[in-house]
Structure 1
Amino acid sequence: MKKFVFASVMALASISLVAAPKLHSQDSSQVTIKDPAEFNAYQMFSTQSDPKAKAAAGEEFLSKYPQSVVKGAVLDQMIDSYQAAGDQDGVLKTADRELQVDPNSLKAILYSVLIKKQQCAKNQDQATCDDAAALAKKGLALQKPASTADADWQKLTHAAFPIFHSAIAADDSVKKDYKDAQSEYQNELKLYSDDESKTAGLNDTLLLAQAYAQPGSTQDLKVAVWYFARVWALAPAQYKAQIEPKLEYYYKKYHGGLDGLDEIKQKAATSVNPTADYNPPPAKSPQEQIHDLIASTPNLDSLALSDKETILGLGGKEDADKMWAVLQGKQTQVPGVVIAATADQVQVAVTQDAKDAKVADFIVNMKKPLTEAELKIIQPGFEFKTAPDAMLAGTYDTYKQLPATDTTSASAQVVLKDGEYIPAEKKKAPAAHHPAHRPTHK
C-alpha cells in the first residue's frame, strides 16, 4: 500500500490529435447564380488563397447576399478558412450558421464537437460538455445524403464517429456517469483499426482506464489495469513515467503485489481489450491486507500518510484503533491536492482514490486564518508536496470511517487541528552545526 503520486497526463493528448477531414456540405458547381454582380462577388470570395482574407470576403459576401443560393457553400468554405487561420471562435460561429442552413451538415457538427470537446476537457464546464455531447449524438444519427457516394460516407463517418463517441464519454465523465462513459469509450475504440487504436485511440484508452478506476459501484480495477497497461506499452517513452505509477497503484490494489505485471504489459500491447486468458488473481480483502501490514510493520508511524488513511478507512475496528492510537495528537505534513479552501479550513485529497473522486479525505482546520494572498495560492487543484515545496501541516484531531457510495469507495475522513501553511520560500534554514567545546582543566 505504497503511496503513488500520478503526474498530469494531459500532454499525452497530443499523440491523439485527429485532423478533421475535408467535408463539403454543398457543391456550388451544382447551382446557378443569376445575378452577375453576385456571381462576381462569389468568384472573388472563392478564389482567395489567404485564409483570413477569404473569411473576411465570405462575411462581406453574405452581408450583401444573405439569401444567396450558395450561402451553404460559402459558409462551408468559411469554416475551412477560419480553421486554417486558427480562429476557433470563427469556426464555431460559422458552423452554427451553417447548421441553420443545413441542419444535417456533418462538417459543421464535427468541427463544433471537436472544439467544444476541447473546451469541455479544459474547463470541465457542464453546459459546454452537454452541448458537445448533444451535437455528437445528432451526428451519430445522421443518414447518408443521397448525393454522397457510399465510399465517401464511410470515409467521413469513420473519421467523425469515434470523435462523437469520445465527446459523449467526456460529458458522461464530467457528470460522473462512469458506466456510460465506459460504454462510449468502448464504442469509440471498436471503430478504430488496430493501428488507429495505437495512435488516435490511445489517449481515450487512458480515459477509459480512468473511468474503470473511479471509486464506486462501476469500478473494475481488473479491467482498468489492462487499459493502463496498454497505454503504458504503447505510449512514447517520455510519458511512461507518468502512467506507470497509476498502473502499479491499481494493480497492487487489485492483485496485492507487482508480480505478473510485466506479462500483462506485453499482452496489452497486442490487444485493445482484455484477452480470454487475462485473469490475474485478486488480492486478499482490504481488511486482510491491512491486518497483515500492521502485523509486519513494527513502527506504524513510519507508514506513508496515504497508507495510514487507508488503514483508518478500511481496516477493522481493532486495526483502525491501533493506527489512531499512534497518530492522535501528533503533527503531520499533508501532501495532496486541494479540493476547497477558506481562511479557516483547507480540504485536501491525499490518497489516489480521493484524488480520482475529487473529494477531500483530510480536513485541516487552521491555527490562524489564511491571508488573502495565501488563499490566492491555495486554490482548488493546487498540490501540497513536501520540502522544499510549499507544505501544509496539522495535528491529528479526529477521524471517522465513511461507507462506500455509488461514486466513492469506503474511506476515512481525517480532521487535523492547528493547521499551518508553510510557503516554500519561508522554510527555516538547517541549523548550523558548531564543533563541541571541550572543557579545559586548570
Structure 2
Amino acid sequence: MKKVVLASLLAVAGAATMMQPCFAQDAPAAAPAAGQTGGQVQMSADEYKVYNDADTAATPAAKAAGFEAYLKAYPNSAVKQDALQKLMFAYQGTNDPVKTLDAADRLLQVDPSNLTALYLEAFLRRNAADALTDPAAKTAGLDKAAGFAQTGLTATKPQSMADADFQKLKSQATPVFESVIADDDISKKDYAGAITTFKTEVTGAPAEATQAPGAVLQDVFFLATSYMNSTPPDYLNCAWYATRAAVYAGQYASAIQPTATYCYKKYHGKDEGYDKLQALVKTSLTPPADLATTVTPAPKPADLVANLIATTPDLATLAISDKEFVLQYGKPEDADKVFGTVKGKSTQFPDTIVVAATADQLQVSVSDDAVQSKTADFAFNFATPLKTVPAVGDKITLTGTYASYTQSPLLITMSDATVVEKKKPAAKAPVHHTTHH
C-alpha cells in the first residue's frame, strides 16, 4: 500500500511505538535456579549460567548475542520458546528488522500462535514491501505480510495468560493486522476488500485515534482513496473520509486536502457547500445515512456537455480540461466538432506525468482526473526515437500536434512529439579584478 509520502507523514506520531511494541505475549519470567526440581524446569549449573548471562546482559545487542549462544548450545532447551521470544525482543531493541524477523520465524515454529511474533511479522514485512519498487515483488511481500496478519486475527489465548492481558494485547495488534490486510488488497486493486477491512479497523479503533495524526487516521485517508479508486468511483464516501482525515491531520492536512476537495467537486460539481461538510465530519467518523441529500450530486456528464456546447459560441476557446470532458462524454458529433478546433495544431504541455514510456511513444497524464487516477490521457508519438527514455512518474514538458483521439477510454494522440529540455541557468560572467600597482 500504499503508501507514498503521506504514509510516513501521518505515521510520525505513532512510529516509535509501532516499531517498539510495548506489549509482550506471556513474557517469560526469570530463569529457574540451577538444579531446581520443585518447578517444571530444571537446568544444570552450566546451562543456567549461559541463560542468565544472556538475560542480564546490559545492551540489546549483547542480550541477542547471549541468547543466540544459549540456543546454539542448548537447542532442545525446556525454555526454548522463552529464549526465542527474548531473542526477538533483543533484536527489536537493536532496530534490526531482518534479525527480528528471523527470530520471529524461529519462535513461530515452536509457538505458531504467538501474537507478538505475528504482529512483528505482519508489521515489519509490510514495511519492507512498501519500500520495494518492483510491483510483483511488492505484491508478493504484502501477500506474505497479510498471511501473518490473518493468522494473528484468529490467534487464540495461551493457557497461561490472563484474559484481560490477552484482550489488551489483541486490541493493540488487531488494527495493525487489519491495516496490513487492507494494504494487500490495495496492491491487488481489490478496493472493495480494502474498504471492508479499513472500515472494520477505523470503526473499531478508539475515537481519539481517528482525531489525531497517526496510523489509524492514515487509514481513514486510505479508506477514502479506496472509495475513489473503486469501479465505479464512490466520490461521496471519498469526500467524507478524506475530509475527516484532513480536518484532524494538523500540519499534514495539506497532503490530504487536495484529494478531499477533488472528490467533493467530482460528486457535487463545485466547491459550494464544502465548508458544511468540513463541519459535519467532526460530528462522526462515519457518514450519516442521509448524506446524499445533504450533498447533492452534480449534473450528469452528458447534461454538462450539452450545456457547455450550447453556451460556448467559439468551441476553440474552451480550456483543455473542458475539451477533454467533451471528447470523453459528449455525443460523437459534438466530440468531433470540438476536436476539429485543435486537430493539426501544435501545443506545448508543461509538467506532464509519465505513465508509460518507450523510445517511440510516451503516455502521460495531463488533466487533473488523469493525474489523480494515474492513467494516461495523452499519447505523444515521436518521429525520431528518444535517446533517453524517461522513467514512469517523471514530470516532463512535451510539444506535439493533435492527430486523433479515442473516446472510451479517452486517449488523445499527438504526432511529431518533442521533449522540451529544461533551460540551464545562464552562466555568470567571470569577475575581473583590476590589479593596482
Aligned residues between the structures:
403
Q: In structure 2, what is the equivalent of residue 379 of structure 1?
A: 391
Q: In structure 1, what is the equivalent of residue 102 of structure 2?
A: 93
Matched residue SS, 1:9: helix
1:379 deviates by 0.8
1:287 deviates by 1.7
Q: In structure 1, what is the equivalent of residue 434 of structure 2?
A: none
Q: Would the aligned equivalents of 1:329 and 1:397 in 2 still touch at CA under 8 Å?
A: yes
Structure 1 residues 311 and 355, CA gap change in structure 2 (3 angstroms):
same
Q: Would the aligned equivalents of 1:214 and 1:353 in 2 still touch at CA under 8 Å?
A: no
Structure 1 residues 39 and 366, CA gap change in structure 2 (3 angstroms):
same
Matched residue SS, 2:64: helix
Q: Would the aligned equivalents of 2:261 and 2:271 in 1 still touch at CA under 8 Å?
A: yes
1:389-422, CA deviations, whole angstroms, 9 ceiling, x for partnerless residues? xx122221111012xxxxxxxx401111112112
Q: Would the aligned equivalents of 2:305 and 2:330 in 1 still touch at CA under 8 Å?
A: yes
Q: How far apart, in 2, do the equivalents of 1:263 and 1:294 lie?
A: 32
Q: Would the aligned equivalents of 1:25 and 1:76 in 2 still touch at CA under 8 Å?
A: no
Q: What does 1:386-425 correspond to in 2, within 5 Å?
A: 391-402=397-408, 411-425=409-423
Matched residue SS, 1:131: helix
Q: What does 1:88-237 correspond to in 2, within 5 Å?
A: 88-123=97-132, 124=135, 125-199=138-212, 200-217=215-232, 219-237=233-251
Q: In structure 2, what is the equivalent of residue 388 of structure 1?
A: none
Q: Would the aligned equivalents of 2:352 and 2:398 in 1 still touch at CA under 8 Å?
A: no
Structure 1 residues 215 and 196, CA gap change in structure 2 (3 angstroms):
closer
Q: In structure 2, what is the equivalent of residue 278 of structure 1?
A: 291
Q: How far apart, in 1, do the equivalents of 2:307 and 2:83 lie?
A: 70
Q: What does 1:352-367 correspond to in 2, within 5 Å?
A: 352-367=368-383
Q: In structure 2, what is the equivalent of residue 9 of structure 1?
A: 6
1:25 deviates by 4.6
Instruction: State the AA in 2 paired with 1:182.
Output: I
Q: How far apart, in 2, do the equivalents of 1:109 and 1:245 lie?
A: 36
Query: 1:322 is matched with which residue: 337, 340, 345?
Result: 337
1:339-390, CA deviations, whole angstroms, 9 ceiling, x for partnerless residues? 221111111133444345443222111232222xx32xx2112233xxxxxx
1:146 deviates by 1.9
Matched residue SS, 2:272: coil
Aligned CA RMSD, in angstroms, stands at 2.3
Structure 1 residues 301 and 250, CA gap change in structure 2 (3 angstroms):
farther
Q: How far apart, in 2, do the equivalents of 1:323 and 1:15 lie?
A: 50
Instruction: State the AA in 2 paired with 1:208.
Output: L
TM-score if structure 1 supplies the norm length?
A: 0.85
Q: How far apart, in 2, do the equivalents of 1:296 and 1:118 lie?
A: 52
Instruction: State the AA in 1 paired with 2:240.
Output: W
Q: Would the aligned equivalents of 1:28 and 1:70 in 2 still touch at CA under 8 Å?
A: no
1:241-269, CA deviations, whole angstroms, 9 ceiling, x for partnerless residues? 23222222221111111111111111112
Matched residue SS, 1:269: helix
Instruction: State the AA in 2 paired with 1:9.
Output: L
Q: In structure 1, what is the equivalent of residue 48 of structure 2?
A: 39
Q: Would the aligned equivalents of 2:360 and 2:381 in 1 still touch at CA under 8 Å?
A: yes
Structure 2 residue 334 is matched with structure 1 residue 343: no
Q: How far apart, in 1, do the equivalents of 2:279 and 2:336 lie?
A: 42
Instruction: State the AA in 2 paired with 1:193.
Output: P
Q: How far apart, in 2, do the equivalents of 1:298 and 1:207 lie?
A: 43
Unmatched segments (≥5 aa) in structure 2: 31-38, 428-437
Q: Would the aligned equivalents of 1:121 and 1:170 in 2 still touch at CA under 8 Å?
A: no
Q: Would the aligned equivalents of 2:192 and 2:230 in 1 still touch at CA under 8 Å?
A: no
Structure 1 residues 326 and 241, CA gap change in structure 2 (3 angstroms):
farther
Matched residue SS, 1:327: coil
Q: How far apart, in 2, do the equivalents of 1:53 and 1:180 lie?
A: 44
Structure 1 residues 68 and 222, CA gap change in structure 2 (3 angstroms):
same
Q: How far apart, in 2, do the equivalents of 1:427 and 1:341 lie?
A: 28
1:212-262, CA deviations, whole angstroms, 9 ceiling, x for partnerless residues? 001523x2111111001101111113x222322222222111111111111
Matched residue SS, 1:107: helix
1:207 deviates by 0.3
Q: How far apart, in 2, do the equivalents of 1:120 and 1:352 lie?
A: 29
Q: Would the aligned equivalents of 1:395 and 1:417 in 2 still touch at CA under 8 Å?
A: yes
Q: Would the aligned equivalents of 2:26 and 2:160 in 1 still touch at CA under 8 Å?
A: no
Unmatched segments (≥5 aa) in structure 1: 1-6, 385-390, 403-410, 430-442
Q: Would the aligned equivalents of 2:97 and 2:124 in 1 still touch at CA under 8 Å?
A: yes
